[in-house]
Amino acid sequence: MEYTIKPCFLCDAESKQSDTDHDNRSLVTCSNEACGQYEITHSAAISIVSSTFIKGALRKLVNKRHGDYGHFDISRPDKQIKWEWIAKQ
């Protein structure tokens, strides 16, 4: 999968990002083990940029699943940040 190197949305460390879901989401693989891998919609990414509190909370959730087979999906339906664990079959 093609990727670009950009700052992680959750911790600003260097991360690999690929566009997924017809460019509506970014699949992020963060070099910081506290984040690991997650997927985030563009609108969710924009809305959490200035919220240190939400970013910290999401980082903890993502980290809890570190090593499990799957990834976190962070989206923003109805202007509320929502997260969901997507297990890989």
Among 17, 27, 30, 72, binds Zn ion (CB under 5 A): 30
Residue 26 beta carbon to Zn ion: minimum distance, rounded to whole angstroms: 12
Cα distances (angstroms) measured from residue 47 to each of 19, 38, 61: 18, 16, 18
CB neighbours (10 Å) of residue 3?
Answer: 14
CB of 12 to Zn ion, least distance (A): 7
Contact positions with Zn ion (CB under 5 A) in 53-82: none
What DSSP line would sit under 49-78, residue for residue? TT-HHHHHHHHHHHHHTTTSSEEEEEE-GG
Q: Which span sits near Zn ion by CB under 5 A: 2-10, 19-27, 40-48, 74-82?
A: 2-10
User: Which residue of 11, 44, 58, 74 would you call a contact of Zn ion, by CB under 5 A?
Assistant: 11
Is residue 10 a contact point for Zn ion (CB under 5 A)? yes
Footprint of Zn ion (CB under 5 A):
8, 10-11, 13, 30, 32, 35
